[in-house]
């Protein structure tokens, strides 16, 4: 047995978030000698400051919201009360249940040498942590990102929260909660605190929320927030903050006018910056940019033996993307030749914002297609036409699928619905496997489930393939069954090329939507 820190490691991983943990566990599992360095908490943002605690709070907010609207289900209950301290205690307890999976003890049991402290490169082949020098054949930088703090006058004189502090440092429910930033973090926590009966003001610098989504999605979310009592200020900017009478007074500029808002708590959710400042990457010869560490398609940095994975690469800041990239890195480090290594494929990347309703997306949306000059057809199914959504009181939203014009090739999809992240997966799989939307439609889906919304978009596409000629031919076949032959088809010369173009005798696909006796037919748009 080699002594810990002595000799040369196969791989040294810097950062114990999702990308670092997957890389370390994968390397150790394949027999490699690996060291893992973490300066703060094992599990990184996802476990401690992101996905896990935020979704735990969202879960409590959803239950509270449902109970308050129990009358919509015909149930009368006393007006409920949210115990804020208990809600936050539950969140931390749920997080603690998951934490051992990412713990130092577990990874050491897997054969990983875990070091606590800040890593600093000394050269392309050596770094130090806590005064201990470590050497390796390969390095993986997976240090993630941190909250970006905007230059607001007076901000250094008030207490504010980011996603890295709010889950552990907020001690009581704010009566008035001010959120700066209309991205996923800001939107999720805005709705959560509004449902806990905080008065919430959301300030977004841009002209709409969730700017990566289509405008109609942003508008629908804004209207939902406003219906739940949130003051949504778009095209607005917080110019100054100061303390006054134990409150934070924010000066907000919007449309050339200035107003002031007093709040008890301030959350900043204006983006992320790469966590690379203390790594001394210059000594390692690793190039960076404002988004993070530059990598090639194989996730190699400017030094081929140094890889980067996860949020620090600046592309698709999602836990599932960090996991995906880490798996590629493990494979590529093991492969002796570049030709055997795998390139990262970003053609099918799903994501979800966990508001209510959820907003899930994969591939292109309409904005993307227009900017790229891609002609497309749109098939959209309102959730109000899905029986399960109707009986569950979750009719808000829709499934919108983009197809390459004139084909059933899926370019992308956006789903706004309860459990949208789960509903998206058949489309993700179809895109990954290069299956068309018609294949999704012809699969058997259990009834009644929300997934029928996806099937119905496929049915809508299948109806477009039922050409006028095909309709006439099918009508003739039906009459023929009854013993009559239509004169208009007696002279059809089947040998002529193109006479039956567009006909495919697949009644399950072509006629299924015609057999669906329930309402809510999806619509098609040509763009």
Q: Is residue 263 part of a domain?
A: yes
The distance in angstroms from the start CA to the end CA of the chain is 65
Same domain, 460 and 474: no
Range of the domain at 139: 8-42+103-146+273-340
Q: Are 444 and 399 found together in one domain?
A: yes
The pLDDT of residue 338: 93
The CATH number for 185's domain is 3.50.50.60
Residue 308 domain flag: yes
pLDDT score, position 517: 53
What gap in Å lies between CA 41 and CA 322, rounded to an integer? 17
Give φ, ψ of 193 to 5 degrees: -70, -30
Cis upstream peptide for 357 (omega within 30°): yes
Question: Does residue 176 form part of some domain?
Answer: yes
In 3D, which of 322, 43, 62 has the Cα closest to residue 164? 43
SS3 455: helix
Q: What is the pLDDT along the chain (527 residues), one digit of tens a residue?
A: 357 878 999 999 999 999 999 999 999 999 999 999 999 999 999 999 999 999 999 999 999 999 999 999 999 999 889 899 999 999 999 999 999 999 999 999 999 999 999 999 999 999 999 999 999 999 999 999 999 999 999 999 999 999 999 999 999 999 999 999 999 999 999 999 999 999 999 999 999 999 999 999 999 999 999 999 999 999 999 999 999 999 999 999 998 899 999 999 999 999 999 999 999 999 999 999 999 999 999 999 999 999 999 999 998 999 999 999 999 999 999 999 999 999 999 999 999 999 999 999 999 999 999 999 999 999 999 999 999 999 999 999 999 999 999 999 999 999 999 999 999 999 999 999 999 999 998 999 899 999 999 999 999 998 888 888 888 998 999 999 888 654 555 554 544 444 444 444 344 444 444 445 555 556 676 56
Question: Residue 376 belongs to a domain with what CATH number?
Answer: 3.30.390.30
Last residue of a domain, one of 340, 362, 390: 340
Sheet holding 358-363, edge to edge: 350-353, 358-363, 410-417, 398-404, 376-382, 523-526
Residues 126 and 14 in one domain: yes
Quote the CA–CA distance of 25 and 8 in Å, as a whole number.
18
User: Looking at 340, 358, 387, which one is the last position of a domain?
Assistant: 340
226, 256, 271 — which closes off a domain?
271
Cα 456 from chain centroid?
24
The Cα–Cα gap between 434 and 428 comes to: 10
Neighbours of 396 (CB within 10 A): 17
Residue 180 lies in a domain: yes
* Shared-domain flag, residues 459 and 426: yes
Q: Is there a domain that residue 124 lies in?
A: yes
442 and 420 housed in the same domain: yes
- Please tell me the pTM assigned to this model: 0.89
Q: Which two structure tokens, joined as six digits, stand for 222?
A: 């804004």
Q: What angle is formed at CA 178 by the lines to CA 160 and CA 167, rounded to 5 degrees?
A: 55
State the Cα–Cα distance between residues 43 and 193, nearest whole angstrom. 25
Flag whether 286 is in a domain: yes
| Helix runs in 414-464, H state only | 420-423, 425-432, 437-442, 452-464
In whole angstroms, how far apart are CA 136 and each of 132, 334, 340? 13, 14, 22
Alpha helices (runs of H) in 182-273, residue ranges in sequence order: 184-195, 215-227
Q: CA 313, 317, 323 angle in degrees (round to 5)?
A: 80
Nearest to 114 by CA among 192, 39, 210: 39
Residue 139 domain flag: yes
Same-domain check for residues 137 and 277: yes
- Is 281 found in the same domain as 140? yes
Q: Note whether 480 and 359 are same-domain residues.
A: no
Same domain, yes or no: 295 and 262: no
Query: Does residue 69 fall inside a structural domain?
Result: no
Residue 359 shares a structural domain with residue 442: yes
Strands 126-129 and 132-141: antiparallel
Annotate 122-165 with DSSP letters as a single string: EETTEEEETTEEEEEEEEEE---EEE-----BTGGGS--B-TTT
Give the per-residue pLDDT at 148. 96
What is the sign of the dihedral through the CA atoms of 220, 354, 182 and 379?
negative
The H or E element spanning position 233 is strand 231-233
Encode 97-108 in three state secondary structure. Answer: HHHHHHCHHHHH
Number of domains in the chain: 4
Question: Do 248 and 294 fall into the same domain?
Answer: no
Residues 228 and 374 in one domain: no
Query: Which phi and psi (to 5°) does residue 222 adopt?
Result: -60, -45
b/e per residue, 266-296, with b = 16+ CB within 10 A? bbbbbebebbbeebbbeebebebeebbbebe
């Amino acid at each position: 047995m080699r002594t810990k820190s002595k000799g040369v490691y196969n791989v040294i991983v810097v950062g114990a978030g999702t990308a670092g943990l997957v890389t370390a566990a994968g390397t150790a599992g394949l027999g490699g000698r690996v060291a893992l360095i973490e300066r703060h908490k094992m599990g990184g943002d996802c476990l401690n400051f992101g996905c896990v605690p935020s979704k735990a709070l969202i879960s409590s907010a959803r239950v509270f919201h449902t109970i308050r609207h129990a009358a919509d289900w015909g149930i009368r209950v006393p007006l409920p009360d949210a115990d804020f301290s208990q809600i936050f205690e539950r969140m931390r307890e749920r997080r603690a249940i998951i934490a051992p999976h990412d713990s130092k003890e577990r990874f050491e049991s897997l054969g990983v040498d875990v070091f606590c402290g800040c890593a600093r490169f000394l050269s392309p082949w050596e770094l130090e942590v806590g005064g201990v020098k470590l050497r390796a054949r390969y390095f993986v930088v997976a240090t993630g990102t941190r909250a970006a703090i905007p230059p607001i006058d007076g901000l250094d004189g008030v207490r504010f929260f980011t996603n890295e502090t709010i889950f552990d440092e907020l001690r009581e429910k704010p009566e008035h909660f001010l959120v700066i930033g209309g991205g996923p973090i800001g939107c999720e926590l805005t709705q959560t605190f509004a449902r806990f009966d905080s008065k919430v003001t959301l300030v977004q610098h841009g002209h709409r929320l969730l700017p990566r989504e289509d405008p109609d999605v942003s508008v629908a979310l804004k209207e939902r927030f406003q219906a739940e009592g949130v003051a949504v200020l778009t095209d607005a900017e917080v110019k100054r903050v100061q303390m006054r009478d134990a409150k934070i007074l924010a000066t907000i500029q919007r449309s050339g006018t200035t107003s002031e808002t007093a709040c008890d708590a301030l959350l900043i959710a204006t983006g992320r910056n790469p966590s690379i400042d203390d790594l001394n990457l210059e000594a390692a010869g690793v190039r960076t940019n404002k988004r993070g560490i530059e990598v090639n398609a194989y996730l190699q940095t400017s030094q081929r033996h140094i890889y980067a994975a996860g949020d620090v690469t600046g592309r698709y800041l999602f836990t599932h993307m960090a996991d995906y990239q880490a798996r590629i890195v493990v494979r590529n480090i093991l492969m002796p030749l570049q030709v055997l290594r795998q390139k990262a494929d970003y053609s099918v990347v799903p994501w979800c914002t966990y508001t209510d309703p959820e907003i899930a997306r994969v591939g292109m949306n309409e904005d993307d297609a227009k900017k790229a000059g891609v002609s497309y057809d749109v098939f959209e199914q309102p959730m109000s036409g899905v029986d399960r959504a109707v009986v569950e009181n979750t009719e808000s939203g829709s499934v919108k699928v983009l197809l390459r014009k004139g084909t059933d090739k899926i370019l992308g999809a956006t789903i706004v619905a309860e459990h949208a992240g789960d509903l998206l997966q058949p489309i993700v799989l179809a895109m990954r496997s290069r299956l068309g939307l018609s294949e999704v439609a012809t699969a058997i889906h259990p009834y009644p489930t929300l997934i029928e919304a996806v099937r119905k978009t496929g049915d809508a596409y299948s109806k477009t393939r039922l050409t006028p000629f095909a309709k006439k031919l099918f009508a003739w076949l039906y009459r023929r069954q009854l013993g009559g032959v239509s004169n208009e088809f007696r002279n059809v010369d089947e040998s002529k090329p193109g006479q039956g173009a567009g006909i495919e005798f697949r009644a399950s696909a072509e006629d299924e939507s015609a057999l669906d006796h329930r309402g809510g037919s999806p619509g098609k748009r040509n763009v």
